[in-house]
Amino acid sequence: MTDDVKSKWMEIALEEANNSLRAGEVPVGCIFIYDNEIIATGSNTVNETHNATRHAEMNCIDQVIKFSRDKNLNYQDVFKKVEVVVTVEPCIMCAAALHQLQIASITYGCANDRFGGCKSVMEVAPIYESKVDVIGGIRAEEAMNLLKQFYKGTNPNAPESKQKHNKRKNKEGND
């Protein structure tokens, strides 16, 4: 896949991330490409479903299984030809799933310095003896800006101890 093609595919993933942001989810968008056709699109639905595993990649995996079933294809064969384009480096859980499924490639936007499973925090590929091509940094600034927009606000579904609170200075001068 050329850099221009990667950028065009990433544009679609960024649209999914924007949809996710508007829905109050962490803005991660993902597409799965099979034979040069998008067969799955996904964004995070963690807040909507109250299920911490409903990341964009996991939602796409479910769609590929349905696609394979509907087309009477072996899903394992389909996954081996799938190219994943995702706005943020897959977390350790998602990276492990993608490597275990032996997908063809992962192209991501910005690094995931908190949970990244392709390089940033942990590289899961060696665990699976995976030969998956992984390329990062495609339209990274745009992907990072979406994350920054989300984290400027308060996640209403976060536990009370994890929510941001407006800090008010004590009127008596005490901080």
Residue 140, helix vs strand vs coil = helix
Q: How far apart are CA 130 and CA 117, in angstroms?
A: 13
Residue 90, helix vs strand vs coil = coil
Residue 69, helix vs strand vs coil = helix
Active site residue 123: no
46-55 — which CB contacts under 8 Å span 24+ positions? 46/157, 47/23, 47/155, 47/156, 47/157, 48/23, 50/157, 53/93, 55/28, 55/90, 55/91, 55/93, 55/94
Q: Choosing from 25, 57, 83, 89, which is the catalytic residue?
A: 57
Q: Which residues are catalytic?
A: 57
